[in-house]
Chain A
Amino acid sequence: MNLQAIAFYVLSVITVVSALGVVSARNPVHSVLYLILSFFTAAGLFVLLGAEFLAMLLIVVYVGAVAVLFLFVVMMLDVDFGSLREGFVRYLPIGGVVAAVLVVEMVLVATAVGEQGAAKGSGAPDILLDAPNTEQIGRVLYTDYIYFFQAAGMVLLVAMIGAIVLTLRHRPGVKRQSVMDQVARTPAKGMRIVQVKTGEGISE
């Protein structure tokens, strides 16, 4: 057994076990931590496949940003999982059936891809075998897939507009710091020197 095989088995076992942990952990925060572990080991599997760019993206995007915010929200929400778990046994048969169907279909696809001629990636773009895979991805992403790439950008833009439209509130009467104004302020504008006469004070 070579090193790669050992690494593969170690990583895949951790991935599967932590994925199980995600659904079985009692504490939601633990669930998210398991999720992060499983992302992390999945990135390791990508590295074994030689897809180091994808592996790093998985960590930067999912582990470094998405999961942090996820953890953030779960910690803040303080979900009572006891009550969420109540229907678990009741819905177990339905969930089991769905899961079984999914497993069967995945196995079908896997065997079809493995055995059949028709399923051999006829649409896969040409790959430059000597280029690093960052460059390979770049080459197809910005040529053949430019349309999808730009369209996906529009989808993200809509998500952003939506989040802003639905949450941004301009409350009246809130004082905001304007750095520009602060910097532009001069003694002449901000200060008035008055001669106060004794006993009279200043009336405004």
Chain B
Amino acid sequence: MLEFWTTPLGWTLLTVGQILLITVVLLICVAFLLLMDRKVWAGVQLRKGPNVVGPFGLLQSFADLLKFVLKELIIPAGADKFVFLLAPIITVIVACIGWSVVPFAPGWVIANLNVGILYLLAVSSLGVYGIIMGGWASNSKYPFLGALRSAAQMVSYEVSIGFIIITVILLTGSMNLSTIVDHQAGSILNWHFIGGGANLPTVVVMFPMMVMFFISALAETNRPPFDLPEAESELVAGYQVEYSSTPYLLFMLGEYMNIVLMCAMISVLFFGGWHAPWPEGYLEGLPPTLVSFHGLIIFSVKIVFWFFMFAMVKAIVPRYRYDQLMRLGWKVFLPTSLVAVALIAAWRVFGPGA
């Protein structure tokens, strides 16, 4: 029976099964994270938030899903129908495929790519297409403005994200996400955001890098305070104005999956992935499945923590003006991250660990 899984057919079935499993679990998680987002937001504003559907409003997201699916789909006259419908689909697909390289636990990854981190960068840079296509295909002014804003914004922040990722790659010496996570094994002192193990002095560089990565992730996912492409008060809802029903749902879904992906990325790159902040000596000798579940739980907690940060920022920080956004990206983050790359590279070559 085991041999069957190594034949082409078996391999294909196995991979499809893994993909389905991750997608389904992810979708359910997103439903609850969405609820958490709203609850946190409500809490900051001293409201109760959704609390009607199900106990504590737990089924709110599923009710929303039903509502969206059952509404009428409206395609504006003069819209480019094909691109109009393609845009939300692309958004969701792109948000999903990024998960294929995320290591959830030791060995629990669909594709253990050697260039996994580049793959994530590439996928996150594709997210802009859904928005720009949707904005253009709507054949309407506000969506178009939103699309243009988002194109400029995402391309700008990608640059600094790329540089920040390079600092992590330099510390690890690998682009494989599993290797990056394993490089942070031990305890919280080995996590990259405080320099990664023996390289403790690099905390001076790496901690700001983590903060910058988080802020860039906000911009990259069009979250407040960088939600200029949507900007309810200026552009109504930006690129989503003309969308209704399921396509709109897909946009929302893609957006949230991207956010969770970004949370996972921060956890993997800076927060030790599946490794616990305390020494993990007690795991030795345990069956691998148990160790993996231990890792999965820790990884999930980290993702939820970062998602909480995303939600808090949304609730607390007011929206940036467009020129401020561009200034922050190009004049602050880009030079800083560039200097950081040079410093970390110098540390790797001339530092004590060289």
Contact = CB atoms under 8 A, between A and B. Distances in A.
B78 to A, nearest CB: 13
A56 B119 contact: yes
Majority SS at the chain B contact face: helix
Nearest to A1: B8
A59 B125 contact: yes
B204 interface: no
B262 interface: no
A59 B148 contact: no
B51 interface: no
Given A57-B118, A72-B148, A134-B175, A64 B126 contact: yes
Nearest to B324: A177
A53 B115 contact: yes
B175 A64 contact: no
B115 A52 contact: yes
A16 interface: no
A63 B122 CA distance: 8
Contacts of A179: 327
Interface stretch (B128-136, B278-286, B333-341): B128-136
A122 interface: no
Nearest to A52: B115
A2 interface: yes
B162 A60 contact: yes
B289 interface: no
B175 A71 contact: no
Given A33-B83, A60-B125, A69 B155 contact: yes
Contacts of B121: 56, 60, 64
B158 interface: yes
A75 B118 contact: no
A132 B117 CA distance: 14
A133 B113 CA distance: 12
Given A33-B133, A52-B113, A68 B155 contact: yes
A56 B118 contact: yes
B45 interface: no
Interface in A143-170: none
Contacts of B72: none
Given A36-B129, A72-B148, A132-B114, A65 B155 contact: yes
B151 interface: yes
Interface residues of A, number: 27
Interface in B123-146: 125-126, 128-129, 132-133, 136, 144
A184 interface: no
A30 B81 CA distance: 12
Contacts of A57: 118
Contacts of B158: 64-65
A2 B158 CA distance: 37
Interface in B1-38: 8, 11-12
Contacts of A63: 122, 125-126
Contacts of B122: 56, 59-60, 63-64
B175 A75 contact: no
Interface centre among B126, B152, B323 (most CB of A within 10 A): B126
A3 B8 contact: yes
A71 B132 contact: yes
A15 B148 CA distance: 27
Interface string A50-90: 00110011011001110011011001100000000000000
28 contacts: A27-B80, A33-B133, A36-B129, A52-B113, A53-B115, A56-B118, A56-B122, A57-B118, A59-B122, A60-B125, A64-B121, A64-B122, A64-B125, A64-B155, A65-B125, A65-B155, A68-B132, A68-B151, A69-B155, A71-B132, A71-B151, A72-B132, A72-B151, A75-B132, A75-B136, A133-B114, A177-B323, A177-B324
Interface of A: 2-3, 27, 29-30, 33, 36, 52-53, 56-57, 59-60, 63-65, 68-69, 71-72, 75-76, 132-134, 177, 179
Given A68-B154, A75-B144, 15 more contacts: A3-B12, A52-B113, A52-B115, A56-B115, A56-B122, A64-B125, A64-B128, A68-B132, A68-B155, A71-B136, A72-B132, A72-B151, A75-B147, A76-B148, A132-B114
